[in-house]
């Protein structure tokens, strides 16, 4: 929980096909937790993941949250999954009218043999409460699969 997030939202979901949906929430709440104070760093704005130094929880209200999710086989033995989340915070400053956080998770999994599969995944994150630039994480995994 350094950081940890909890988001509550009520909205509507549009599900045109079984493998894709979009959820729109006209209001959402998000809590950011930094329970391990050993990870505190001295930053110019004196916050850690948006949580002020000396506190452990930060509450944030959003004007809207949008989630789009796709999970489908795009070819035989190849599956594509992606999930996009937009969180438009009510926090304002003189640079912009609203702060929007973006997160995109994507993975492609291929079964290459009866017992092996390969997974390539990536995460793209932009949250100016953390670092005001895009953050990336990628992974390549090879798995052994055996069913008893």
Mean pLDDT (whole number) for 116-130: 91
Pick 116 or 1 by higher pLDDT.
116
* Percent residues over pLDDT 90 in the chain: 61
- How is the chain classified by DSSP, letter by letter? -TTEEEEEEEEEEEEEETTEEEEEEEEEEEEEE---GGG----TT-EETTEETT-SEEEEEEEEEEEEEEEEEEETTEEEEEEEEEEEE----SS-S-EEEEEEEEEEEEE-SSSEEEEEEEEEEEETTTEEEEEEEEEEEEEE----
* pTM confidence score: 0.84
Pick 2 or 85 by higher pLDDT.
85
Query: What are the pLDDT digits (tens) for 4-20?
Result: 899 999 999 999 999 99
Residue 1's pLDDT is: 77
Query: What are the pLDDT digits (tens) for 52-75?
Result: 878 889 999 999 999 999 999 999
Residue 127 reports pLDDT greater than 80? yes
Query: What are the pLDDT digits (tens) for 96-116?
Result: 566 889 999 999 999 998 899
Residue 22 reports pLDDT greater than 60? yes
């Amino acid at each position: 929980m350094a950081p940890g997030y909890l988001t509550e939202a009520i909205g509507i979901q549009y599900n045109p096909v079984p493998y894709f949906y979009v959820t729109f929430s006209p209001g959402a709440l998000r809590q950011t937790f930094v329970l391990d104070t050993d990870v505190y760093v001295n930053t110019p704005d004196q916050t850690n993941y948006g949580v002020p130094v000396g506190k452990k929880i930060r509450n944030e209200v959003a004007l809207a949250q949008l989630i789009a999710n796709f999970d489908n086989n795009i070819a035989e033995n190849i599956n594509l999954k992606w999930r996009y989340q937009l969180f438009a915070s009510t926090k304002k400053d003189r640079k912009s009218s609203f702060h929007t956080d973006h997160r995109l998770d994507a993975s492609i999994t291929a079964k290459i043999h009866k017992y092996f599969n390969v997974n390539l995944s990536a995460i793209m994150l932009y949250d100016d409460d953390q670092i005001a630039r895009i953050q990336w994480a990628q992974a390549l995994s090879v798995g052994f699969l055996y069913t008893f």
